[in-house]
Amino acid sequence: MQKKVMKDLQAFKDFCGSPAAFEIIFKDSPIGILVVDPISKEFIFANPKICEITGYSLKELLKLNVQKIHPKKELPKVLAQFEQQIRGKLLVAKSIPVLKKDKTLVYCDVSSVMMIFDGHKYLVGFFSDVTDREKVKSELQHRLEFEKAVIKIAQKFAAILPIEIDSGIKAALKIIGKLVDVDRCYIYLFANDNQLIVNAYWWAKSRSKGWQIIPKKVERKAYPWFSKIIEDADTVYVPDVAKLPPECKIEKKIWQKQGVKSLLMVPLIHHNKRIGFVGFESLEKIKIWDKNDISLLLTISEIVSEALARKWSDKKQHKSAEHLQNVLLQTVQAVAQIIEKRDPYTAGHQQRTAELAAAIARKLGLPDDQIEGIRLAALIHDIGKIYVPAELLSRPGALTKDEFMLVKHHPQVGFDIIKNIDFPWPISKIILGHHERLDGSGYPKGLQGDEISLACCILGVADVVEAMMSHRPYRPALKSDVALNEIKKGKNKLFDAKVVDACIGLFKKKGFKFKGK
């Protein structure tokens, strides 16, 4: 449509010189149009669509100029692009912020053409509203930043000493509080047989925002509705405290006194027991929570719960090798959930791959400790996909060359994420090498033959077989015979022969089946 309008403009330039005809041509255009004096930057003409986009009437808009419809902090960039368009150096200015009459922002792609009317040059701008596109892009960027923050927090708690757990939790609250844009967040723990709620950790954007009136401890019976619902709910979400129903009148009064407009509380659970909750409060505005953010906050609560349990266990001097390994496993599993929550088509892929990889390693007679290392690496082998947009992971069609190159980078990204965690196994190296192939056709390093460890070979075969036997957006699940035939064809060329034989033997002779399938 934009090209059509520009074509109409050129036709008008060639065949019409009447200002009346100019107005008629653009009256019903679905694209906003502004005619601007390139010298004064004043608006000479505006069509109904641009009035709709900006919220101004035609009369109001024609009293303004370029500087008046863009945010002040963006003006230098906008004016520079305006000058480029006047000189014909810029065809389309992308994602230009436009300040509406009500002071809200919309974003437009602005293309332009210089025209001469009555001997005067004018810049004609065509405004396409791309606010929805920018919103999706912003939400994706936020989600990626949030997921990266969760990964970093998980990394920290995987290697942290018990004496550092308190400071680690405080730092995590600050990171998450800022990221989700709340005014304060905190952790309350249950005490005295769950009859008392004690504030253990907190972060506030500003000490002046009413933090001083939040109690350090309070009896649970002082919050009857909340105390009941926190026992069973995955989350307690109150988007607007002012609209709480009558049965919440006590909590409503308390929260309004504290200046709370919206809040979200996520329970802390350890060994199926609720030990407290993490709270997030907005004081300045009503906050609507995204379901993806809530999902990641649940992962944070799991990590914090395990850290607290580790701290308490250390205080009681019940630290043991088995306990520390369980804490490590819990952290690995929490990290593994992050990537699978982003892509419903591959949910459970890492878990099932870990099952098969461990079974192959056991079939090959590897020691239990080595089997456990391979299993843990398989549990998080795709963690590098955290940097791949979810839209690519779930796309039903073929990827472009550039998109596939982005996906192929995930083993290196996974290695970079995990390499600084002090695991007792070479997990980061196993993740890095799980897409390498014997003939050098794999990635990211193009390793060959003995350069590829046995653990990488095992994970590579398990990954291929599980992926083929599972549903994908671009094809249905394949039968085990098809998957096994595929690795058999790649035996000694792509895949290690003894690993392939062990995998085929598991299915053919041992009747191996994935759990839950």
> Does residue 18 surpass a pLDDT of 80?
no
Count helices and strands in the chain by DSSP H and E runs: 20, 11
Which H or E element spans position 143? helix 131-159
Please say whether the beta carbons of 42 and 65 come within 8 A.
yes
Domain spans, the chain: 2-129, 343-517
Residues 362, 368, 369, 372, CA torsion sign: positive
Alpha helices in 321-409 (DSSP H): 321-342, 349-363, 368-379, 390-393, 401-408
Average pLDDT on 164-182 reads: 89
2-129 — its CATH code?
A: 3.30.450.20
Q: Which two tokens stand for residue 503?
A: 């995998």
Q: Which fold has domain 343-517?
A: Hypothetical protein af1432 (1.10.3210)
Give the closest residue to 260 by CA, choosing from 236, 224, 293, 233.
Answer: 236
Percent of the chain with pLDDT over 70: 84
> Does residue 11 surpass a pLDDT of 60?
no
Measure CA 266 to chain center: 19
**Predicted pLDDT at 83:** 93
CA dist 334 and 260 (Å) reads 31
What pLDDT, in 10s, does the model give residues 40-55? 999 988 889 999 999 9
What pLDDT, in 10s, does the model give residues 122-135? 898 999 999 998 88
Q: Which residues contact 502 (CB under 8 A, 6 or more apart)?
A: 360, 363, 364
Please say whether the beta carbons of 34 and 54 come within 8 A.
no
At residue 85 the predicted structure's pLDDT band, cuts being 50, 70 and 90, is very high
**Predicted pLDDT at 456:** 96
Which H or E element spans position 498? helix 497-508
Higher pLDDT pick, 295 / 64: 64
Average pLDDT on 423-444 reads: 93
What pLDDT, in 10s, does the model give residues 206-232? 765 555 556 788 888 888 898 888 887
Long-range contacts of 219-222 (CB under 8 A, 24+ apart): 219/195, 220/190, 220/194, 220/195, 220/196, 221/195, 222/250, 222/254
Q: What single-letter DSSP state applies at residue 515?
A: T
Peptide bond into 267 cis (omega under 30): no
User: How is the chain split among helix, strand and coil, in percent rounded to 5?
Assistant: 55, 15, 30
**3 state DSSP class of 13:** helix
Rounded to 10 degrees, what is the CA torsion of 351, 352, 356, 358?
10
Length of the chain: 517
